Structure 1
Amino acid sequence: MSGAEQARRPEPRRRPWWLGLALAVMGALWLNGARGIASTTNYIGLGPAAIVLAVGLGLTILGVLLMLQALRGEFGTVDDEAEAPPSRRAFLFALAGVAVPLLTMQSLGFPVTAMLAFALVTHGFGSRRTILDLAIGFVLGSAAWFGFSGLGISLGGFLPLIG
């Protein structure tokens, strides 16, 4: 094969199947975590584990579908050169933001956990305003905690480190 033929030949496209696998594993972790949540029901007939189960099932299904798309070559192709390929670093920041609640909810409380998760995910999406992101995450987490507490749904202590 001559050098001109090699130059015209397109490079093989990378297939980031690992993104789908990571998403499916994350969903499995959520499903496993839902087993430890009390299944008592409220006035609407759903317990606190229902949302966690729904999110875990959704993440697992989407992860498997994403993995299949990547293996078939339908995902991860860059057709427009202006479009950037998937960033592992950004994905890992977003993944850390989703994993933080699994590790810190009981020890730090809901608002602080939400603050950390929000800041990590926004950093993964390109935000570099860490202090503002932390503040927004704390406000959103506090509002969610007070909202759920008002409905009689316990998300644990507001700030367990203090009390």
Structure 2
Amino acid sequence: MAHQHSSHSRPLQTLIGAGLVLLSLGLAWGARSISSEAGYGGVGPNFFPWVVSIALLVCGVLCVVHALTGGFRDLDAGSGGERAHWQGFAWVSAGLLLNALLITTLGFILSCALCFVLAVRGFKSSEGALDLGWKAWIKDLLLGMAVAAPVYWMFTQLLAINLPGLTHTGWL
């Protein structure tokens, strides 16, 4: 269901667009310092940073144009609560921080699986469906490993990019 925009939302919408433009310019500034020497497939390492910064610039300019010509259109009412869900935020934050802290100790697969398990706890908590039973923990750990392992193998085995592993085999 779309809702009407008040006059005080347009400056905020313009600010969002301007922020995207500034972010894109910052990314472009960083991308210019990355080597452009062509690598695999004729594309250099600076290709994707440039693509992302240009796409973000286009989005930012379009957001500013929309904001200045009537505001963002056809927005649905927000589905979230009126207040932040701090318990869910804590679960997700713990997952991200533990992933960063433990990735070189546990390896990519296990640390990402742990991050997945804790993030699921956070999102389920925000929905009022937090399950702290051991079956839910094991199921989510297995799902997290099922997502992380192919990503790890693709990078280490197919692309020959080193990611932290539990062993030096490239498979764990």
Query: Could you tell me the TM-score, scaled by structure 1's length?
Result: 0.49
